[in-house]
Amino acid sequence: MEMSPDSSTHDPSSRPPGPRADDVVVADLCTGEALAAVATHTPDEARALLRAAAAAQQAWAREAVSSRAAMVRRVTEAIVQQADAMAEVLQRAQGMCRFDALVRELLPCVDAGQWYAAEAPTMLADLAIEPHLRSHRRGEVRFVPRGVVAVFSPWNAPLAEPLTLVFEALLAGNAVVWKPSSLAVLPALRAREIAVREGLPADLLAVLVGERDAGDAIIDAGVDLAVTIGSKEAARRVAARCARAAVPSLSTVAGKTTLIACDDCDVERAARAIVAGRFVHAGQRRDAVERAIVHASVAPALTRRVIELASALRVGDPWREAVDLGPAMHHSRATFLRVVTEEALRLGATLGVGGEAMHRDGAGSWFAPTVLVGVNEGARAARETLHGPVLPVLVASSNAHALALADDGVGGPFAYVFTESADRAAAMADGLRASVVLHDDVFAAEGAVDAPMDAAGPGAAGTLHGADGLTRMCRAQHRSVPSLALPARDPAWPPYTPLREQVAIRALRTVFGRHGVVGRLADLF
């Protein structure tokens, strides 16, 4: 899995041979074996990437949308052909189980690329405008590419989310500079390799490898749009930098994703959803269930079943063993989870299962699947994003109490509601500030690229995905032309006279004044 020189640098300028001290060494999470040494970009090199991307974008923007769509479709088909190799990268470098790599990372981004490729020609088609006030003119709105879009993605969103945004940006006619976390750089580089091999111009999609200063450099140099996936802190910092550089930005941020189990929920389905939602990818997904709020009437049966299911999960090396969850991406995560667990127990929670780090041979950081029942709402486990296989269960006295506990200001963009009543699910959704609310399901949003998702994070408000998300990758340009010959002098142009002012006030009253024919005739005189 050694990196080729091109895939390790992505830089148009030459480099001296040999590794550098600041190279990112990508290791197998479980064994510590080095998989690749990836050269980082300095701020100067980051600016060079941006210039090269901007130059490549000029020709790309002139391509028909159908041509761009054909290229994106070829890239997605090639990713499918390389699914085994891509899954291996996700298993070894990200600690992801093979099923999750295929179904929760590769499938969503491939589906998104192909869906957008089919729909983009219609979504980006010119819109005819018939002005209601100036009927002597006609117009159209064209969706013009912005230029270069920067995509900032975190360690726990290696492919599905950022690559979907990359496809959107490319289909809209933009170039992309993608800056993944240094903990998720290898999947991004592999995806770019496939795209370039399929014929995408090499400078059109750059993977920026580096620390914060490299990302700051492309913002300061004038990237045309920045989209951030990640924590509130990261999104806030990028948005502030963009504001200083007058760069528009969007963000979607992580938070304490909540699952509410109402008094009439299907206990078996809710229990299985909680276990899947919490423990898939060791609880590190952005849309993982970070806490379950359970109605007191079903809490005993539901928590008992959750504990049974969690106890049966297999933990280990997802590349070499048949397991259900692998290690944490951060080697210090087990220590943090132990501290949070001990605090929850001191505050009155009961340990259902787990609660301990699992010391195994190798370099991984494993923590046993843990269920904490009766967690105090003020505990760190109930309020902080854990990014690990610890499930806090809060018990609510009523469905209204459950909603109040969920709507405490720390929730993320996703929420899950389990109830037999569609009306109750809708009422719960009305009371939640989440961007996506799923009824009787978890993770379903990963395949719902056709639905817009609120992106009102610390950056500018807006939406991601769907038709609105695609057009947001563009500048809307309104073009207006006369539909008939116009006189040399327009009556609305100066110089003004008292007579024209009188005509203006009477016309204003007649058209926009009192309702009814009689009232408007009176205003005319």
Q: How far apart are CA 173 and CA 61, in angstroms?
A: 5
Q: Are 192 and 7 in contact (CB under 8 A)?
A: yes
Q: How far apart are CA 158 and CA 122, in angstroms?
A: 29
Strands (E), 473-525: 474-482
Q: Are 264 and 419 in contact (CB under 8 A)?
A: yes
pLDDT at 425: 97
- Residue 448: burial class (beta carbons within 10 Å; 0-12, 13-18, 19+): middle
pLDDT at 413: 85
Q: How far apart are CA 173 and CA 278, in angstroms?
A: 38
Burial 28-66 (b: 16+ CB within 10 A, else e): bbbbeeebbebbbbbbebbbbbbebbbebbeebbeeebe
Which residue type occupies 468? D
183, β-bridge pairs: none
Q: How far apart are CA 37 and CA 3, in angstroms?
A: 7
What is this structure's pTM? Answer: 0.90
pLDDT at 438: 94
Burial 460-478 (b: 16+ CB within 10 A, else e): bebbbbbbebbbbbbbeee
DSSP 35-91: EEEEPPPPHHHHHHHHHHHHHHHHHHHHS-HHHHHHHHHHHHHHHHHTHHHHHHHHH
pLDDT tens for the chain, residues 1 to 525: 444 434 434 443 345 555 566 789 999 999 999 999 999 999 999 999 999 999 999 999 999 999 999 999 999 999 999 999 999 999 999 999 999 999 999 999 999 999 999 999 999 999 898 888 777 888 899 999 999 999 999 999 899 999 999 999 999 999 999 999 999 999 999 999 999 999 999 999 999 999 899 999 999 999 999 999 988 888 889 999 999 999 999 988 888 999 999 999 999 999 999 999 999 999 999 899 999 999 999 999 999 999 999 999 999 999 999 999 999 988 888 889 999 999 999 999 999 999 988 766 556 789 999 999 999 999 999 999 999 999 999 999 999 999 999 988 888 889 999 999 999 999 999 999 888 999 999 987 666 788 888 765 555 556 788 888 899 999 999 988 888 888 888 888 899 899 888 888 888 888 888 765 556 566 555
DSSP label at residue 206: E
Rounded to 5 degrees, φ, ψ at 83 are: -60, -40
